[in-house]
Amino acid sequence: MTEAEFQNLLQRYLDNQCTAQERALVERWYERLDEPTGIHLQSQNQEAVEDAIWQRLRGEMVPEPASGRVVQHPASFWKTAPVKWIAALLVLGVALRFLLPATKLPDFLGSTPAPATAWTLRTNQTQQIQRFALPDNSQITLHPGSSLRYQTAFSGPKREVYLQGEAFFKVSKNKRRPFLVLTKQVVTTVLGTSFRVKAYAGSSEASVAVREGKVAVQKRDEAQLDATPTHPAAAGVLLLPNEQVVYSVASRHLKKQLVTKPALLLPQSFEFEERPVPEVLAALEKAYGVDIVYDEAKLAGCTVSISFTNESLFEKLGLLCKSLGATYTLSDAQIRFNSKGCQLNQAK
C-alpha cells in the first residue's frame, strides 16, 4: 500500500465511505498505536489525528467543555484540513515504506481479511473464586457459579465483556478504549478502575459497587453504548469510590447508594481532643470519600474528645452519635448527621 493509497483510505474512512474490510484495517492500525510496533505520525500531529479517528469511532459531535461550541464532525474537518494534515499522512506513508521491509507490510495493513472475532467463555464451576487476566491485562476475580465471555483478542473501539453472576474487575486504563461489562440487567462502562458487578440469573436485583475511579452504569435495554464516565449518558448513574447502584428488576429503577462497608481510601489519624464536631465529620468525609450533610448552626461551638481505631465508617459514626446524643441516616449516597445541638455534651 502506497502513501497515496493510505491517504485516500483514511479520507474514505472519515467520510464513512469505505468497505467493512477497509474500516477494519484503519481501526487495527489505530488500536495498535500503543504497542511497541505501532506506526506513529510526527509528534505534533499524532494526537490530533488520533482524536479525529476516535471521534469518528464514537460517531457523534462533541461540545467543547469551556465554550459549549460544537466541534466540527471529523469527516468535514478532514476535508478542510490545512496542508500540514496531508503532510502528516505522507509522513505515515513514508514510514510504512522506509521503516519496514520493502517487501512486506505489517500484517494489520496487509490485504488478508481480518479473521472473525473469537470469543472465550470462562465459567467458574468450583467453590472457590478464580483469578485471571484478560487480553488487555485487566485482572478478573470470578465468583463461583459465574461466567464471563470476552474477546480472545480485544478489537474495535471498545473492550466488551459479558457477565452472568459476580466478578470483581481491576481494569487496565485506556482512555481511548472504554471497558464495558454487559449483564442482562445493566451496562457498566469504565476507562480504567476497580469495581464489582453482581448480576446472577433469576435474581431480583443487580448491583455495581466502585472501589476506585469513576464508573458509569445504565439499564441494559436503554443503554447508550458509546457513553463513558467522561461523557456519561443522561439516563445513567455516575459512581465514585464507595458508591454503588442497585437495579431492581421489578421496578426497572437504578438506585444510587453507599456500599455496605465503605473502604478507607485515605488512611489518617482519628485522634480528636476537644475538637469541633464539624472537623471530625470532615475527617471522615475525606478518609472515606463520602458526603456528610449536617446543620452547621446546630453544631456551631460543639466539641468532642474521641478516638477511632479499626472501626468501620458506620461504627465510627455510631460512636460519635452516642457521644453527642445524635443520630445519622442514609439518603441515597449521602449521610445525614442529625443533631439537636450540644445539650447532652454540655450537661456532662
CA distance 299 to 156: 55
Backbone angles phi, psi at 165, to 5 degrees: 115, -135
Residue 189 has pLDDT above 60, yes or no: yes
How high is the pLDDT of residue 130? 96
CA distance 3 to 30: 16
Give the tens place of pLDDT for each residue, 284-294.
Answer: 999 999 999 99
Give the distance, in angstroms, between the CA of residue 28 and the centroid of all CA atoms in the same chain.
Answer: 23
Q: Tell me the average pLDDT across 316-344.
A: 89
Residue 203 has pLDDT above 60, yes or no: yes
| Residue 316: burial class (beta carbons within 10 Å; 0-12, 13-18, 19+) | buried
Q: Tell me the average pLDDT across 52-81.
A: 43
- Provide the grid cell at 203: 435474581
Backbone angles phi, psi at 142, to 5 degrees: -100, 125
CA distance 39 to 59: 24
Percent share of the chain, pLDDT over 70: 70
Backbone angles phi, psi at 80, to 5 degrees: -100, 10
Domains of the chain: 3-109 (no CATH), 119-258 (2.60.120.1440), 271-347 (3.55.50.30)
CA distance 85 to 143: 50
Q: Binning pLDDT at 50, 70 and 90, where does residue 176 land?
A: confident
Give the tens place of pLDDT for each residue, 103-137.
Answer: 333 333 443 343 456 889 999 999 999 999 999 99
DSSP character at residue 140: E
Contact 294, 247 (CB under 8 A): no
Backbone angles phi, psi at 314, to 5 degrees: -70, -30
Contact 92, 109 (CB under 8 A): no
Inter-axis angle of helices 83-98 and 43-58, to 10 degrees? 100
Contact 187, 223 (CB under 8 A): yes
How high is the pLDDT of residue 69? 37
Residue 174 has pLDDT above 80, yes or no: yes
CA distance 146 to 126: 10
How high is the pLDDT of residue 118? 82
Q: Tell me the average pLDDT across 95-108.
A: 38
Contact 143, 123 (CB under 8 A): no
Give the tens place of pLDDT for each residue, 210-262.
Answer: 999 999 999 998 888 888 888 888 888 999 999 999 999 999 999 999 999 99
Q: Binning pLDDT at 50, 70 and 90, where does residue 51 land?
A: low
How high is the pLDDT of residue 119? 87
Q: Poorest-confidence range of 52-61, 81-90, 212-221?
A: 81-90
E strand or H helix at 23:
helix 20-31
Residue 264 has pLDDT above 90, yes or no: yes
How high is the pLDDT of residue 117? 62
Give the distance, in angstroms, between the CA of residue 315 and the centroid of all CA atoms in the same chain.
Answer: 30
Q: How far is CA 181 from CA 95, 184, 307, 309, in A?
A: 37, 10, 41, 37
